[in-house]
Structure 1
């Protein structure tokens, strides 16, 4: 398994975990869960940025960025 593939897989796992956290937080509208969702998104985004610096392919980076932005928007909407 190549390092690039492992990076992409780890990012996908982080985004899926964030997606579950965001979904739960927006269903309950619990402020603590919303904060945890933001932390999960931040962690996924940091992992994505590290992978980008290690020459992650553009298509994977774009897809991951789109997912993170969509989830961030969902949190923003929930807090308004």
Structure 2
């Protein structure tokens, strides 16, 4: 699964393992939704960009560790905790 984060470029977070093209498209949409949380929670373009980078790393790590995407609540909580 690949997606682009403007601040760090194209990212590959997973390869294979999805049962169908539909499942892959749904997973990609979920990743994009998770990254959009940074758009809503960041204060200014620099902070938003930094949050996107953090979230891309978190998504990659969660997929590597558990094989699943983090929930929106997990990502929101991590963003709020990191901004304190």
Structure with the largest fraction of helix? 1
**What band does the TM-score fall into relative to the shorter chain?**
0.3 to 0.5
Structure with the largest fraction of strand? 2
Q: TM-score, normalised by structure 1?
A: 0.38
